[in-house]
Amino acid sequence: MLTDIIKEYFHIRTVSGVFDFDLRIKIHVEYPFEDKKFRMSDAGRCRLYRYWKRQGKEMKPPDTSNMLTMEAGNVLHSWIGNAIEGAGYLIESEGLLEDADRVGHFDVLFEYEGKTILADLKTVNGKKMYYLKKNGNSPDLHHVYQLISYWYAIEEEQIGDPILNEGEHIDHTCIFYVNRDNWSEIHEVEIERKPLLISQIQDDWEILLDAWKVNTEPKANPEDWECRFCPFKSICTERR
Ligand code: SF4
The per-residue pLDDT for range 107-116, each reduced to its tens digit, is 999 999 999 9
Is 184 a domain residue? yes
Is 185 a domain residue? yes
Is 237 a domain residue? no
Ligand 1 centroid, distance to 221 Cα (angstroms): 8
Mean pLDDT across the chain, nearest whole number? 87
Ligand 1 contact, 42 CB (< 6 A): no
Ligand 1 centroid, distance to 203 Cα (angstroms): 19
Is 238 a domain residue? no
The preferred substitution site among 55, 204, 221, 236 for testing ligand 1, maximizing ligand atoms within 8 Å of CB, is 236
Whether the CB-CB separation of 137 and 130 falls below 8 Å is answered with no
pTM (predicted TM-score):
0.88
Take atom 2 of ligand 1 and give the residue whose Cα is closest. Answer: 227
Ligand 1 contact, 174 CB (< 6 A): no
CA distance 49 to 221: 9
The domain spanning residue 13 has which CATH number? 3.90.320.10
Whether the CB-CB separation of 62 and 220 falls below 8 Å is answered with no
Is 187 a domain residue? yes
Instruction: Say which range, 141-150, 176-185, 200-209, has the weakest mean pLDDT.
Output: 176-185
Q: Give me the pLDDT at residue 26, please.
A: 47
Based on the structure, what is the number of domains in the chain?
A: 1
Ligand 1 contact, 46 CB (< 6 A): yes
Is 74 a domain residue? yes
Q: Give me the pLDDT at residue 29, please.
A: 45
What is the pLDDT averaged over residues 133-155?
92
Grade residue 32 by pLDDT with cuts at 50, 70 and 90: very low
CA distance 213 to 211: 5
Distances (CA, A) of 137 to 33, 115, 140, 192: 32, 22, 10, 13
Is 61 a domain residue? yes
Q: Which atom of ligand 1 is nearest to the CA of 47?
A: 8
Is 217 a domain residue? yes
CA distance 147 to 156: 13
Ligand 1 contact, 205 CB (< 6 A): no
Give the structural domain span for 58.
Answer: 2-229
Ligand 1 centroid, distance to 44 Cα (angstroms): 13
Ligand 1 contact, 142 CB (< 6 A): no
Ligand 1 centroid, distance to 136 Cα (angstroms): 28
Q: Which of 23-32, 91-100, 189-198 has the highest mean pLDDT?
A: 189-198
